[in-house]
Structure formats: C-alpha cells, structure tokens
C-alpha cells in the first residue's frame, strides 16, 4: 500500500506501517501526536493477533470497549463476550501463519483512530479496519471489520 503525501513512518523498522494525519501536511505537530497514538494502537492491534493474548480472556477484554462489535470475514457478527470466548477456544487462528501488513492510522476525531491493515494467510487474505477510542489513558477497540479478498488467480503473485 503506498503512503499518502500526509503519511509518516510509524516505526522505521516496519516499512509496512504508515500514519495519515488527515490534514494538508502543514501541521507537523498533529502528525507527531497522531504518530504516537497510532503507533500505540498498532501495537495493541498486533497484540490481538498474538496467541498468548488471544487465549487469555482477561487480556482480550482489557482491549475491548464494552460496546465492541465485529463484522467477521465469515459474515458473523460478534460482540465482546462472543469474540472473547471464541478467541480463548482457538487462539492460534488455524495451522497457517498469519501476517499483518500495510497498517495505516487515521485520526477521525480527538481520541478516535481508524486503523486499516491487511492480513494474509496461505489460503485467505483480508482487508481489515478497526476503530479505536481513547478511554481515559488507554485505547479500546470499539469496532472491527474483516473483508475477505477473492483468491488470486493461479500464476499471479
């Protein structure tokens, strides 16, 4: 995913991460502020992909907003209770490794950050979006959606 003109790297060690401050590029302070928040949110999002976190219902619940909802790639609609339960039962998400790339953070309003990214596995790729909201001094996941991409035609990479 190409970075926009208003994007700055979140972590020099991770070229797949860009942060979009949503402005015309004239407000450097906003980009720095968003960079810190978006970097923190990306870490939280990545932690939800970690099987050690996923199998710990308390750790998962600590990251979810009380009104959390998710539209899964399967079409299933999840709430905080159901997603916590299913993650604890199957923390590894299957036998194939999952990679998460192309993270972008977009500040929608103060304390509201939209994170978009891509996940890939040998059999399925998804575009994902997560809405994170600041609650006091921490970020909580309010909404998540995964959209499965059609399979690549044979011979394309």
pLDDT value, residue 5: 28
DSSP string over 61-75 = HHHEEEEEEEE-TTS
Bridge-based pairing of strands 138-148 and 125-135 is antiparallel
CA nearest neighbour of 87 among 126, 53, 63? 53
Neighbours of 88 (CB within 10 A): 15
pLDDT value, residue 45: 96
pLDDT value, residue 108: 95
Give the integer Cα–Cα distance in Å for 117 and 102: 5
pLDDT value, residue 151: 85
Per-residue pLDDT for the chain (157 aa), expressed as one digit of tens each?
A: 333 223 333 343 343 444 444 443 433 333 334 468 899 999 999 999 888 899 999 999 999 999 999 999 999 999 999 999 999 988 666 667 789 999 999 999 999 999 999 999 888 899 999 999 999 999 999 999 999 999 877 666 5
pLDDT value, residue 24: 39
What CATH architecture applies to the domain 17-148? Answer: Roll (3.10)
* Cβ–Cβ under 8 Å, residues 96 and 121: yes
pLDDT value, residue 28: 36
β-sheet with 77-79: strand ranges across = 7-9, 17-20, 99-109, 112-120, 125-135, 138-148, 64-71, 77-79
First to last CA, the chain: 15
* Cβ–Cβ under 8 Å, residues 90 and 105: no
pLDDT value, residue 4: 29
Neighbours of 67 (CB within 10 A): 11
Map out the domains of the chain as residue ranges.
17-148
């Amino acid at each position: 995913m190409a970075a926009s003109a208003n994007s700055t790297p979140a972590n020099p060690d991770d070229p797949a991460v860009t942060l979009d401050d949503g402005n015309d590029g004239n407000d450097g302070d906003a980009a720095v502020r968003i960079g810190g928040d978006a970097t923190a949110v990306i870490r939280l999002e990545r932690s939800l992909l970690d099987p050690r976190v996923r199998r710990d219902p308390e750790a998962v619940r600590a990251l979810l907003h009380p009104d959390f909802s998710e539209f899964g790639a399967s079409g299933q609609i999840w709430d905080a209770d159901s997603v916590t339960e299913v993650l604890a039962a199957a923390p590894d998400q299957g036998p194939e490794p999952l990679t998460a790339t192309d993270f972008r953070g977009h500040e929608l309003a103060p304390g509201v950050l939209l994170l978009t990214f891509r996940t890939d596995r040998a059999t399925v790729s998804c575009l994902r979006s997560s809405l994170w909201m600041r609650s006091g001094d921490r970020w909580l996941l309010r909404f998540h959606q995964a959209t499965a991409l059609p399979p690549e035609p044979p011979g394309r990479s």
